[in-house]
Structure 1
Amino acid sequence: MSWIDIGALEDIPLRGARTIKTALGCVAVFRTGAGEVFAASDRCPHKGGPLSEGIVHGQSVTCPLHNWVFDLNTGAAKGEDGSIATFPVRVESGRILLDAAELTARSAA
C-alpha cells in the first residue's frame, strides 16, 4: 500500500465528514461518533447526492437527498440495490492516511 497523509484527525468533527479531491473524483472521509475513520466515494449512486453532507450514524452514512443508507465498511446500500466505493484509511499519530494505490486502481466516482 502507498499511504498519503490527507490531514489531521481533529479536522473532521465526530459524526462529520470532509472531502478530498482526487484525479478520479471526490472522496469523503468520515469520522464516526466513536472516532473511527472511513473513506468512500462522495457520490450516492441513486441521485448523485453528496454523501459528505449526509448524516453519519454508527458505521453508516445516510444520503442527504433521498435517505439511502450506506455501510461505511463495505459500501453496500442497506435495503437498496447499490453501493459506493470504499478506500483503505488509517490514523497514525493524529494524522489520517489514505491508500493512494487504491485510488489509482479504481474509480472513486
Structure 2
Amino acid sequence: MNWIDIGHIEDIPLRGARVVKTPAGCVAVFRTGPDQVYAVSDTCPHKGGPLSDGIVHDRKITCPLHNMVFDLETGLSQGIEKEQIATYPIRVEDGRLMLNGESVGKRSAA
C-alpha cells in the first residue's frame, strides 16, 4: 500500500477535523480519541455540505447543513434517508497520520 504522511496527530484537536486536498477531491480526517482517527469524503452526498465543519460525537459526524449523521467507520448515514460517504484507510504511526494514497486515488473526481 502507498501510505502518505499527512501530518502529526496533534495537528488535529480531539473531536476535531482537518481537510486534506487531493487531486480527486477533499478528504476529511477526524480525531475521535487520543489515537483514534478516521478519513472520509468531506462532502455530504445529500446537500454537499463540508463534513469537516460538522460536529464530531463518538465515532460519528453530523453534517453542518442538515444534521444528517454518518458513521465514521462505515460511512453509512443514520435515520430514514440512507446515504453513504466514502471512507479511506488511515493509521497512526509514531504519532504521524498515514493516509492510504491508493484508496484516495481510486475515488472519482469531485
TM-score higher than 0.5: yes
* Alpha-carbon displacement from aligned partner over 1:34-69 (angstroms, at most 9, x marks no partner): 541000000001100100000000000000000000
Which residue identity lines up with residue 49 of structure 1 in the other structure?
Answer: G
2:38 corresponds to 1:38: yes
What's the RMSD between the two structures over aligned residues? 1.2
| SS state at 1:52 partner | helix
Q: Distance in 2 between matches of 1:97 and 1:65?
A: 29
* Mapped contact 1:14–1:35 kept (Cα < 8 A): no
- State the Cα distance separating 1:16 from its structure 2 match: 0.4
Greater strand fraction, Structure 1 or Structure 2: 2
| SS state at 2:78 partner | coil
Q: TM-score, normalising length from structure 2?
A: 0.94
How many residues matched?
109
Which residue identity lines up with residue 101 of structure 1 in the other structure?
Answer: E
Q: What 5-or-longer segments of structure 1 have no aligned partner?
A: none
Q: What 5-or-longer segments of structure 2 have no aligned partner?
A: none
Identity of aligned residues (%): 65
* Mapped contact 1:4–1:97 kept (Cα < 8 A): yes
- State the Cα distance separating 1:106 from its structure 2 match: 2.3
